[in-house]
Amino acid sequence: MVQDLRSLNMEEMGIISDKLGVPRYRAQQLFHWVFYKAVSDIDQMTNLPKLFRMSLKESYYISNILVKNKQVASQDNTTKLLLQLEDGETIETVLMNYENRNHQRDRATVCISSQVGCKMGCVFCATGLSGWKRNLTVGEIIGQIMAAQSISQIAVRNVVLMGMGEPLLNFDNVVKAVRLMNHEDGLDIGGRRITISTCGLVPQIMKLAEEGLSLVLAISLHGATDSVRGELMPINAKYPLKELIKACKYYVEKTGRRVTFEYALMKNINSSVKDAEHLGRLLAAVNCNVNLIPINPVVEAGFIRPSVQEIDRFKKVLEVMGVNVNIREEKGTDIDAACGQLRSRSLK
């Protein structure tokens, strides 16, 4: 069976070079072609000896991801890609451009998927509606960044694993892909520019704390009591808030990094002053940031976005309680913006 070079790290490429009888520096060249130059064909690696390339092609290849559909938001150029994998499955990747203080678009962020579909069943999320198929390979995780870069005028310098799927359920592949993103001879994206978002898998959060990665951990919280969160996120029954907060504190202690909590504001569900007070109390002793995200209307779920006044009031309550809080800039609101929407539409 042929193996995808995009799923291999430097050490594994070193083993290939030993096996094929070429010096170790060839492995470094190979790694550079695969991840830095992002070539799609072994024959493009022109500084590798022809014989080495021929031997490589007998057992290795570079996986190919096709851009099947593309939507561009008119107001901010956010681009949502529907990507087709080699087995015909589809996933979503979103490319976003942010402005610096001088209003120049100088950095691109890509939001990538970690699984085909998702089994976590969060009720506000379109991804869960079409079920779970499989984990993505390391090459498929990395390949999304390359696909996004190929259509971006600006270098992709930030990666968020917030697309389809629960990244920590694909733990080994995600951690390996993050190390490849990080590698200075590869994509060279700093750990602080990589975010993993989880719905709150307690054992995996503890495990991630031991990996020695200086990335950003984001927790999808969305409810500040077990009753509210439990209605929105089935995972809360298995790992209730007390356990989740304990795991987050452990993560902060082990890594020295703040945790980010994502809180989608939904009218009549979790956006009242009382909800804000619950949230402030819950996070009082956690070194964290809170991102408030006024929900995008997901047709299937029918949630309502709170008014601007309600959002501001919620934020002020948290500020008074000493919580670091931001309202997340919305991106691509005139395209299918919530995770899973583009894919679920294409499946219909």
User: From the candidates 11, 92, 248, 277, which is the catalytic residue?
Assistant: 92
Residues 6+ apart with CB under 8 A from 173: 114, 135, 136, 137, 138, 141
User: Which of residues 121 and 240 has its CB atom nearest to ligand SF4 in the complex?
Assistant: 121
Q: How far is the CB of 243 from ligand SF4 (least distance, A)?
A: 17
Q: How far is the CB of 8 from ligand SF4 (least distance, A)?
A: 27
76-105 positions binding ligand SF4, by CB under 6 A: none
101-120 positions binding ligand SF4, by CB under 6 A: 118, 120
164-193 positions binding ligand SF4, by CB under 6 A: 164-166
Q: How many chain residues touch ligand SF4 (CB under 6 A)?
A: 13
Q: How far is the CB of 174 from ligand SF4 (least distance, A)?
A: 13
Give yes or no for a contact between 53 and 306, defined as CB atoms under 8 angstroms apart: no
Between helix 308-320 and helix 273-282 the angle, nearest 10°, is: 30
Q: How far is the CB of 128 from ligand SF4 (least distance, A)?
A: 4
Write the DSSP symbol of residue 265: E
321-340 positions binding ligand SF4, by CB under 6 A: 339
User: From the candidates 118, 125, 288, 339, which is the catalytic residue?
Assistant: 339
Q: How far is the CB of 143 from ligand SF4 (least distance, A)?
A: 19
Phi, psi of 181 (to 5 degrees): -60, -40
9-28 positions binding ligand SF4, by CB under 6 A: none
User: For the chain, percent helix, then strand, then coil, each to nearest 5?
Assistant: 40, 20, 40
Give yes or no for a contact between 303 and 266, defined as CB atoms under 8 angstroms apart: yes
User: Which of residues 55 and 121 has its CB atom nearest to ligand SF4 in the complex?
Assistant: 121
Among 5, 65, 95, 125, binds ligand SF4 (CB under 6 A): 125
118 is catalytic: no
Reduced 3-state DSSP string for 38-73: CCCCHHHCCCCCHHHHHHHHHHEECCCCEEEEEEEC
Backbone Cα Rg of the chain: 21
User: Which of residues 97 and 260 has its CB atom nearest to ligand SF4 in the complex?
Assistant: 260
Pairing assessment for the beta strands 90-99 and 79-84 based on DSSP bridges: antiparallel
* Tokens read off for 6: 């995009």
Among 8, 122, 213, 232, binds ligand SF4 (CB under 6 A): 122
Give yes or no for a contact between 192 and 215, defined as CB atoms under 8 angstroms apart: yes
Q: What is the dihedral of CA 7, 10, 11, 13, to 10 degrees?
A: 70
58 is catalytic: no
Q: What track of x and - describes contact with ligand SF4 for positions 194 through 223 (by CB under 6 A)?
A: -----x--------------------x---
219-248 positions binding ligand SF4, by CB under 6 A: 220
Q: How far is the CB of 199 from ligand SF4 (least distance, A)?
A: 4
Place of tokens 């029918």: 302
Residues in touch with ligand SF4 (CB under 6 A) = 118, 120-122, 125, 127-128, 164-166, 199, 220, 339
Active site (catalytic) residues: 92, 339
